[in-house]
Amino acid sequence: MVGGSARVRPPRELTEDPEAWPQLASGDIGAEAVRVIACRLAQSLAERRLSLRQAAAGSGVNRQAIADLLAGRSWPDVATVARLEAFTGARLWPVGTGVERDGGH
């Protein structure tokens, strides 16, 4: 499986306290990236007073996929993150967690 066995479990389950998702950091680099994306997306949607339905319609990402991302129940793919970034105008991808983008290389 791409991503290894860690992706068998949802990202929230790779934190010390899954019930505290997304407030507590994860020691798993992949889960931490998803956690940061979820936090930034939630903040962006709240600032813009957008519902999940509005975010789905504007981004082209399924509403349930957005809900699952925010709840830490799924591993979003690159296209999902890109569409949500484009729609919100916010940088969702984490910086400084060791999962930085390489500038297109």
Is 17:24 a contact under the CB 8 Å cutoff? yes
Predicted TM-score (pTM) of the model is 0.85
Measured in degrees and rounded to the nearest 5, phi and psi for residue 23 equal -70, -35
Under the banding of pLDDT at 50, 70 and 90, the label for residue 101 is very low
Is 22:90 a contact under the CB 8 Å cutoff? no
pLDDT of 20 > 90? The answer is: yes
pLDDT digit string (tens) for 37-95? 999 999 999 999 999 999 999 999 999 999 999 999 999 999 999 999 999 999 999 88
Containing 67, the helix (H) or strand (E) segment is helix 63-71
Cβ within 8 Å of residue 29, ≥6 positions away: 97, 98, 99
CATH (residue range 8-88): 1.10.260.40
Query: What pLDDT shows up at residue 8?
Result: 86
In one-letter notation, the amino acid at residue 105 is H
Look at residue 59 and give its three-state secondary structure.
helix
